[in-house]
Amino acid sequence: MAEKHLTDGTTALAGQPRVIKIEAAEKPRNAHLRVAAYTRVSSDSDDQLNSFAAQNRYYAELISGKAEWRMVDIYADEGITGTSAAKREDFQRMMADCRRGLIDQILVKSISRFARNTKDCLEAVRELKELGVNVRFEREGIDTANVSSELITAIYAAFAQKESESISGNMRWSCQRRMEAGTFLPSSMAYGYKLVGRKIEIDADAALVVCRIFQWYLNGVNRIAIAKKLNEEGISSGQRKKWHSASVRYILTNEKYTGDSLWQKTYTSDTLPATRHKNTGEHEQYYAVGTHPPIIPRETFDQVQTLMQKRSVGQAVTHERLCARMRCSCGSRIRAKQVNGRWYWCCCRHDEKGDCAIKPVPEAQTDEAICRLYYKLKHQSRPILEQMLETLRTIRDRRLLWSEDIVSLNKKISELSSQNQTLAFLKQNGLVDPDIFIAKSNELTRQLRQAKLDKEKLMDAEGDATANRTRELIALLEDGPDFLDCPDAELCGALVAEIIVESNDTLRFRLHNGLELRESIERTVR
C-alpha cells in the first residue's frame, strides 16, 4: 500500500513567499478636462453685480486659455447669502450636473465664495470627491484632488464661517443701536409702504388694498373670504402674490399701519445656518411711535383688534365645520354630541349600532391635538415640508428633462456659454478690441442670466398641484401666529383637509398636500 504523505499546512510557510505585483490600471482620462466655475456675490448692489460680471469674464478667459480644458458652464448666484447651500439655485444645479457626470473640475475664487458654512462646505467637497470631481480654491491655493486638502479645506471653511458670524454679529449690534435711537429702517417694507431714499412713504395703490381689508373685516367679512376676494380681483400680495387667510391676518394685526413700529419681533440665531425665531422675551423689543405716515387710523386698528379677539373666542373650529372634515376609521361619519354639558365627537356607527370600537372623543382633547399639530407644523415640520417640495421638484425636473421648451432653453444656455468662451479666447489672443469685448461679454452675461430665468419660470409653471399646495402650506405657516390658544377655523381649514379618528388614542390629520400626521388623544381619566 502506497504510503500517504500528510501535511499540516506549515510546509508552504517554510520558505519565502513569492509575491507578484499587479500594476494598477491607469485611470481613463477624457480628451479634455471638463471644467466649470462657480461664482457668487452676496448682495444685489450695482458694485457687486459689476463684480459678478467681472468674475464671469475672468473664468471664461481662464478656461478658454487652456487647450486641455473644455468649459461646461459658469454657475453663478447673485445676491444670495453663502451661509446655506439650499438657497443657492445655481450651486444646486452645479451639484446636479456633477452627479450626472458632466464635470471633472470646479474653479472657485475662494472658500468663502463656495460656502460660509463649514458643514455645507465639507459635505459638498466630500460628495464631489466621491463623484471624482475636484475643486480648486484659487485664493487659498487648495486643490481637493490632493488627499491632504480636506483638512486644510475644513480649517479655511471654519475661518469663513467665523467671518460670516462676526459680520452678522456686527450687523445685529448696529441694528440694535439704530432701534434704540429710533432711526432703524427695515430691509423690507410692509405691504402698502415703499422706501424712497432713507424715507418710508405710502404706496398709494397697495395702501388702498390695506384700507379695503380693514373695512371688509369690520363689515363682517372673514379672512378666508377677504383673501378669496383679493385673489379673484387679481390683486398681488407682494412677494407671494397669492393671498391667504394668514396673510390677511398679518395685515390686520400689524401695528405699522398706524404709523408706529415694533422692532425685533423676531431674532436670528447665532449659529449657522441662521434660523429665525419669534421673540418671546429672549431679546429686547423696541416700540417707536410715529416712524412713518399712517394708513389706518388708530381707532380703526383698535376696533379690528377688539373684533378679532371676540371672534377668536367663537372662532374655535365649530361643530359644523369640523363634522365636514372628520370621519371615523371604520368609514362612518363623525357627529357632535353633548352629554352633561360637555361636547364629544362620536362615530355614528358606534353611537347607533354599537359595532364600532372607537369611543366618543371629548372636544377638549381634539382641540388640544389640533393646537399641538399646528405648533409642530409651525416650529418643527418646516424641513419635512421643504424636503417634500424638493423631492417633488426633482420628480418634476426628471419629467421635464425632455420637454421641447426645456431642451431649447438648455441648448440656448449651452450656446451662450460657448460664445462667452470663444469671446474670451479672441480677447486673449488680441483679436478683439477690449471695449468691444467688455460690451459683448456683458450682453452675453445678461442673455445667459435671462435664459436661466426663463427656464426656471417655465419649470415653475409646470409644477404639479401637490407641489403648489405644499408651497401654500409653507406660506401659511410662515404668515401664521406662533401658536394657537384654541383651534382657528379659517387657519385649520386652510391647512387640514381631513381628520380621521384612527383609534381611541390617535387622530390622523391629512393636510391639503396629502401629507399625513398623527397626534395622540390625551384622554383624561376621571
Q: Across the strands, what pairs with 278?
A: 266
Per-domain residue ranges for the chain? 33-166, 182-314, 319-384+470-520, 406-461
Q: What is the pLDDT of residues 384-443, one digit of tens each?
A: 777 777 777 776 666 665 667 777 777 787 788 778 777 777 777 777 787 888 788 888
The mean pLDDT of 94-112, rounded to a whole number, is 87
| Helical (H) or strand (E) element with 427 | helix 404-428
The mean pLDDT of 309-329, rounded to a whole number, is 64
Q: What is the pTM of this model?
A: 0.44
Which architecture, in CATH terms, is 33-166?
Answer: 3-Layer(aba) Sandwich (3.40)
Which one, of 480, 443, 386, lies nearest residue 85 by Cα?
386
Q: What percent of the chain has pLDDT over 90?
A: 3
Which one, of 378, 399, 364, lies nearest residue 524 by Cα?
364
Neighbours of 273 (CB within 10 A): 15
Question: How far is C-alpha 511 from the chain's CA centre?
Answer: 19
Most confident range (mean pLDDT) of 97-111, 224-238, 437-451 is: 97-111
The mean pLDDT of 446-452, rounded to a whole number, is 81
Residue 314 pLDDT: 46
Which region holds residue 207: left if phi is over 0, alpha if psi is between -120 and 50, else beta?
Answer: alpha
Q: What is the pLDDT of residues 192-220, one digit of tens each?
A: 888 887 788 888 888 899 999 999 998 88
What is 182-314's CATH number? 3.90.1750.20
Of 248-257, 268-277, 415-424, 436-445, the range with the lowest mean pLDDT is: 268-277
Angstrom distance (rounded) from CA 171 to CA 165: 10
Angstrom distance (rounded) from CA 76 to CA 65: 20
Angstrom distance (rounded) from CA 348 to CA 332: 6
Q: What is the pLDDT of residues 74-84, one digit of tens each?
A: 888 775 554 45
Instruction: Judge whether residue 471 has pLDDT over 90.
Output: no
Q: pLDDT category, 110, cuts 50, 70, 90?
A: confident
Residue 184 pLDDT: 73
Q: What is the pLDDT of residues 497-518, one digit of tens each?
A: 888 888 888 889 998 888 888 8
Instruction: Judge whether residue 525 has pLDDT over 50.
Output: no
Contact in structure between 271 and 233 (CB atoms under 8 Å): no
The mean pLDDT of 349-367, rounded to a whole number, is 79
Strand 142-143 relative to strand 134-137: parallel, antiparallel, unpaired?
Answer: antiparallel
Q: pLDDT category, 45, cuts 50, 70, 90?
A: very low
The mean pLDDT of 127-133, rounded to a whole number, is 87
Q: What percent of the chain has pLDDT over 70?
A: 72
Residue 497 pLDDT: 87
Q: What is the dihedral of CA 46, 47, 48, 53, to 10 degrees?
A: 90
| Helical (H) or strand (E) element with 517 | strand 516-520
CB burial of residue 154 (10 Å; 0-12, 13-18, 19+):
middle
Which are the contacts of 173, defined by CB distance < 8 A and separation ≥ 6? none
Residue 47 pLDDT: 46
Judge whether 33-166 and 182-314 match in fold: no
The mean pLDDT of 150-156, rounded to a whole number, is 65
